[in-house]
Amino acid sequence: MTPLHAPTPSQTIGPFYGNALPFADGGEIAPRAHPDAITLHGYVYDGAAEPVPDALVEIWQPAPDGSRAGAHGSLRRDPATGRAAGRDGVTFTGFGRVPTDADGHWAVRTLPPGGVPYLSVALFARGLLHHLYTRAYLRDEPADRLLASLDAGRRATLLALPEPPRAYRFDMRLQGEGETVFLGFS
């Protein structure tokens, strides 16, 4: 067995990623005008219950058919000008990235994931030396291993609140009362 290489440590994303990481159509994961599209949105709050205006939210999820292969084209560039070209409006890449606005709000439009009830979320911000992982569950599923391992109060932080007809609200609280369940993978 090969000895494991020591990993490169994480550092904070800092406050000034805004001219670099967000990209055109970052939150438009669903193909354009797709009839099954849903909106997932929410606010990010800190431990003083203040909105976090400089967080970056990344989403990763399976396609509606359950495929986890992803696809190129989340952040297409125009080869002639080098400028952001936006998504092609057809391909489902499974990846989205949006910054929070001045109110700490973010939103993505996507398709419901196939095979699992959740979307994976990575949250980056100034003050976070390592990003945080969580999951936005679109429904409560008693058989889900993670949900089943949590008490009701903690479980509720992972359940996106349906806003009929086609939206879900998923707030994230970094610290303190109602603190979102954050995940570790090892």
Does 137 interact with another protein (rule: CB under 8 A)? no
* Cβ-based nearer residue to another protein, 10 or 163: 10
Rounded CA separation 134/90 (Å): 28
Residues 24, 89, 140, 149: which binds another protein (CB under 8 A)? 149
Phi-psi region of 9 (alpha: psi -120 to 50; beta: other; left: phi over 0): beta
- Residue 82 Cβ, how far from another protein at the closest point, in Å? 5
Does 60 interact with another protein (rule: CB under 8 A)? yes
Closest CA to 95 of 77, 79, 75, 115: 75
Does 12 interact with another protein (rule: CB under 8 A)? yes
Q: What distances in angstroms separate CA 33 from CA 29, 93, 109, 110, 140, one per listed residue?
A: 11, 16, 10, 11, 28
* Cβ-based nearer residue to another protein, 41 or 137: 137
**Bridge partner list, 58:** 97, 122
Does 76 interact with another protein (rule: CB under 8 A)? yes
Rounded CA separation 122/159 (Å): 16
- The distance between the two most distant Cα atoms of the chain, rounded to a whole number of Å, is 54
Does 14 interact with another protein (rule: CB under 8 A)? yes
* Cβ-based nearer residue to another protein, 165 or 184: 184
Contacts to another protein from residues 96-135, by CB under 8 A: 113, 116, 118, 120, 122, 124-133
- Residue 164 Cβ, how far from another protein at the closest point, in Å? 25
* Cβ-based nearer residue to another protein, 28 or 58: 58
- Residue 159 Cβ, how far from another protein at the closest point, in Å? 15
DSSP 8-state assignment for residue 155 = H
Q: How many residues bind another protein (CB under 8 A)?
A: 77
